[in-house]
Chain A
Amino acid sequence: MSDTEHPYVEWIAREAKRPVELDRGARDRVMAAVRAEGAHRSITPARRRWSKLLEPRVFRLSPALTTLAAAGLVGIGVLAGGLKNWGVRKDGRPLVDTATQSPVPLQTTDTVVKFVFAGPRASTVSLVGDFNGWDTTKTPMARDPRSGTWSVALPLNAGRHVYAFVVDGTTWANDPSAPLAPDDGFGHASSVKNVPGPTL
C-alpha cells in the first residue's frame, strides 16, 4: 500500500470501500429480466462433448484430397436431392411439429432499455410489446416504493419496438413519454421505442 501511505489517499480509499446500497427493487429487476430471457437449455456432459465436436475448425487438405472431398460432397448433394421428401408428411407438413418447438431467440445486439411507468395506485404493471409476443405475464415490472413508479430493464435489439403497459392485468396504457404508434387494430394505442445500434 505504499501508494496510499498519504493519509488523504488512505482516507479516500477507506471511504470508497464502504458498501453501497441501491434500492431494494434493483436486484429484483435483475432477476425479472433474467427470467424474461427464459431458462438455459440443459447442457449435459455428453452434449458438451458433442458441441465441442461441432465447433468450427480449419482443416488443410492436399489438392488431391480436396478433389476427393468435393466429389464426395457432390455425391451427398445428389443423394439428398433424391430424398428431398424425407422428413415430410404426405400432406406436405414437416414430420417435426414446429408449433411445439420453443423458439430460440435471435439476439444480435442487446442495448439495455429501461421502461418506467408512473402508477402509484396500481397493484401490478407489466410490459408488453413485440419483443415478448405481447404476453402480459412475461415481463412484470417492479415497483419502487419511494416514487411509486414501476420499471423494468430489457435487452432489445436495435430497431423500432412497439410496446404498452398493462395495469392490474386488464388496463392497457401507453407510455406518455414516448411517441405513439398507429392503432394496432385491437383498439390499443401503443408506444414506440427506437433503439439505436451500439455506440461502441
Chain B
Amino acid sequence: MTLRKEGWVIEKDMSDDAADVQRVLAGDVDAYAALVDRYYDRCARFAVRMLGNRDDAEDALQATFLRAYRALNRYQERDRFSAWLYRILVNQCRSIAARRAHRERVFVREEALLLNAPDRSRSWSGEDEEFVQRVLAELDPLLREAFLLKYIEEMSYEEMSALTGVGVSALKMRVKRACDRLRDRWERIKDE
C-alpha cells in the first residue's frame, strides 16, 4: 500500500473502489454507500470552498453522487474512481456557480456556518472559516478552482489537466495568478 498526499490516493482505496463499483453494478445499491462515505468529506470540502456556502455545496454533492451513480456503468476501471468522481464534482460546482450568477441570488449569512464550524483547534473559529471563504470568494472562479485543486486537494498539474480539460501551462498560470492576487490582497490589508 502506498500513501500519498494526505490520503487522497491510496492504493487500497482504489481496489476497494473497484470492488464496490462492481457490487453496485451487480445491483447492490448499499455498496454505493461505501463509495459515498469514502469520498463525501473530501468532496464536501472542495464544494464548500469553491461555492462559498453549504446549501449550494450540498446541492453539488447530491447532484455529483447521483450523476456518478447513474453513469457508473460508463465508468472505465482503468481510470481512478476518485478522479472520475472529482471531474463530475468540478463540473457540478461550475454549473451551480453559473446558475447562481444567472439568478443573481443574494445569500444571507448563514448561522449554520458558525454552528457547523469544526472545533479541532483553539485557533480555529467560525470567523476564521468565514474569513477564508470570503478571501477565496474574491478570486475569479477559474483561479479559485485551480488554487483549490493544487493546494487544497494537492493534485499534480497533470491530474488537474485530466480533470478539467485545461492544459498544464494554463493551469500553472491560473495557480500563479491566484497566489499573486492573494499576495496583493495581503499588501493592501497589512497596514490597515
Contact = CB atoms under 8 A, between A and B. Distances in A.
A41 interface: yes
A34 B40 CA distance: 14
A73 interface: no
A31 B63 contact: no
A176 B135 CA distance: 38
B26 A40 contact: yes
Interface of B: 6, 24-29, 32-33, 36-37, 40-41, 44-45, 48-49, 54, 57-59, 61-63, 65-67, 69-70, 72-73, 95, 98-99, 102, 112, 115-118, 120, 124, 128-129, 132, 135-136, 147-148, 151-152, 175-176, 179, 182-183, 185-186
Interface in A167-200: 199-200
A143 to B, nearest CB: 15
Given A6-B182, A21-B118, A114-B59, A13 B49 contact: no
A31 to B, nearest CB: 5
A29 B62 contact: yes
A23 B115 CA distance: 10
Of the four ranges (under 10, 10 to 19, 20 to 34, 35 or more), the interface on chain A belongs to 35 or more
Given A6-B186, A22-B57, A26-B58, A155 B26 contact: no
Contact of B179 (A3, A15, A19, A153): A3
B98 A199 contact: yes
- Residue of A8, A34, A107, A200 most packed against chain B (CB within 10 A): A34
A33 B115 CA distance: 26
A61 interface: no
A15 B128 contact: yes
A12 B33 contact: no
Contacts of B116: 20-23
22 contacts: A6-B182, A6-B186, A8-B182, A9-B182, A16-B49, A16-B136, A17-B6, A17-B151, A20-B48, A20-B57, A22-B44, A22-B58, A22-B61, A27-B37, A30-B61, A34-B29, A39-B29, A40-B24, A43-B25, A110-B70, A112-B66, A153-B59
